[in-house]
A and B are shown apart, each in its own frame.
Chain A
Amino acid sequence: MDILDYDFMQRALLASLMVGLVAPAVGVFLVQRRLSLLGDGLGHVALTGVAVGVLTATSPVWTALVAAILGAVLIELVRARGRTSGDVALAVLFYGGIAGGVVLLSLAPRGQATNLDSYLFGAITTTSPQDVVVFAGICVVVLLSVALLGQRLYAVSDDEEYARAVGLPVLGLNIVLAALVASTVVLSMRVVGLLLISALMIVPSAVAQLLARSFRQTLLLACGIGVVVSVSGTATSFYSGTPSGGTIVLIAIALFLLVSAGVAVRDRTARRRHRRRVDVHDAHPHEHGEDCGHPRVLHDDHVDYDHDGHRHAPHRTGEGVHYDEHGAGPVGAPQDRRTG
């Protein structure tokens, strides 16, 4: 028996591929802005859209898209006003969204009673061929927007005040980002589910952050991780009979724990190796640098500072710079020798 023999599985895997790629691509910006829960909130709002779709017998994907984008624009307008009440307004919108969705769905005539769980947590059998077409459209639009506007979105996420000072259209970019999040939420509706999509936006980025050194690396790595966990989770759910959304998110979290542990072990051994080197003498009165007066010596891929008969290599960590002992005496031709 092959998993690809089933049409619904082909569609589910395709949808999971798209959502795995797209969710982290917008999620990284949310993490950067510390707005990790925006996706969650818009998932709530989208549920009202789903209910309206079910009640009016239109495609719930379209109505969810409209509701989520409206919600996104509203949220950014409220946030831009910057009043303390903004927090409350968001809560009202989010919980209003999910409450409205639940109540409206309960009003649906018996015959078309919908499985609420499948919208909230994902179910692989539910992706229709029309859904795949809409999803592909959303996928292309989101990826194109990130490719085109990514540098501006990064600028606004990194330092909103500076972006405003130099005249970037901050409100417009914020609305675009929120609308991209809303579209991603809808894209996730079949496979991951409205309540769990936020995890697929955030967790791959959290993993990538542990490993990457730049924003761009984080973004690309997060997308790769997203695809892997999303597709493997969907396949797993086929064999295990578990809901796809939960399965995907558990795999992502397992990966996060694994990588966190790996990084912790790596840092620990690196630190143990340092301690011996750091013992050579006390703290530095200055930070070595181009102009510090100590001769710079090339050592493999980095520069050591020749210092009273031994060499120091700057080592940057999250907490700042300290110096490692890299042996005694120069290894290569000393550059710009000056008195210390």
Chain B
Amino acid sequence: MSDSRPAGPAAVELHSATIGYGDVAIVRDVDLTIGAGEAVAVLGSNGSGKTTLARGLLGLATVLGGDVRVLGAPVGGLRERGRVGYVPQRHTVSGAVPATVREVVGVGRLARLGLLRRLRPADRAAVADAVAEVGLADRLDDPVASLSGGQQRRVLVARALAAEPELLIMDEPTAGVDSASQESLATVLARISAAGTTLVVVTHETAPLAGVLRRAVVVDHGRVVHDGPLSQAAAHEEPGMHHHPPGREPGGYRQDQPTVTTRSRRPGDQEH
């Protein structure tokens, strides 16, 4: 799919990039180029640094070294940020004040509208379409807190879809989602991928999206240890199996593994 595409600027470009939190490096020395229109799975065991890598692209984790470019611009330098969509791994559903599916997904659309423009009828239609695509059309005006966990994840997918982004970064969109919904997610992703959207999908389950994602990047202990067709990545994502590139000592990664577990506070925890 990607080979037939015109050679524009790459959607994602990392050159010996090091990404982390505060001054603790988590993802180290990564070289990675994802062309416009590609559909890439990011695989790896728990704690390997997949989320950190994704957050680095979004300006939510710190680029500590090297070069990270998204849609041709350095992180944070992209003018129309609505061109990048994001499905976070965790949602901070505060739940304090009820909000409907329509309201939460509407936020995704806002990202396209600059600072003062309000949602117009076309935007509202896009919001409703996005919700329908994740199979929640009959829940549009229900409070999000009344949805099940898997349905709430689908709301977050809809929120990202509503922005109609050029680059869609999804962090485990299928976690906790039933197989019927996974299939319909695969259908949606296939459609937007065919329309030219670049997909970067962090996942542990490649099977449901195998028809869409062609290339796999396997992260292990903060480094990219495999980059190639998804079909060849299976061995790398098996739990407990760490494949290391030739010439590297197995365990060498462990030594430079940061002792982040001793940090008691994370940047995301600051609010009270």
Contacts and interface: CB of A to CB of B under 8 A. Distances in A.
A112 interface: no
Interface in A150-199: 151-152, 154-155, 157-169
Interface in A216-265: 216-218
Contacts of B175: none
Interface stretch (A97-105, A130-138, A316-324): A316-324
Interface in B175-199: 178, 180, 184
B142 A165 contact: no
Interface string B112-123: 000110110000
A160 B100 contact: no
Nearest to A315: B146
Contact of A165 (B58, B99, B119, B180): B58
Interface string B134-162: 01001001110111100000000001000
B142 to A, nearest CB: 6
B100 A290 contact: no
B267 interface: yes
B20 interface: no
A216 B84 CA distance: 27
Interface string B227-271: 000000000000000000000000000000000000001011011
Contact of B268 (A79, A161, A216, A292): A161
A151 B107 CA distance: 8
A203 to B, nearest CB: 14
A301 B85 CA distance: 35
Interface string A307-331: 0000000001110110000000000
A266 interface: no
A162 B272 CA distance: 18
B82 interface: yes
Given A164-B59, A166-B81, A317-B146, A86 B270 contact: yes
B128 to A, nearest CB: 15
A269 interface: no
A162 B106 CA distance: 13
B271 A35 contact: yes
Interface of B: 58-60, 78, 80-82, 84-86, 88, 91-92, 94, 96-100, 102-104, 106-108, 110-111, 115-116, 118-119, 135, 138, 141-143, 145-148, 159, 163, 178, 180, 184, 265, 267-268, 270-272
Interface of A: 28, 31-35, 79, 82, 84, 86-87, 148-149, 151-152, 154-155, 157-169, 205, 209, 212-218, 286-287, 289-292, 303, 316-318, 320-321
10 contacts: A87-B272, A155-B110, A164-B60, A165-B59, A165-B88, A209-B98, A213-B100, A214-B98, A214-B141, A291-B184
Given A151-B118, A165-B86, 18 more contacts: A31-B97, A82-B270, A158-B94, A159-B91, A162-B86, A162-B107, A165-B88, A209-B98, A213-B98, A214-B100, A214-B103, A216-B103, A286-B178, A303-B138, A317-B146, A318-B145, A320-B148, A321-B147
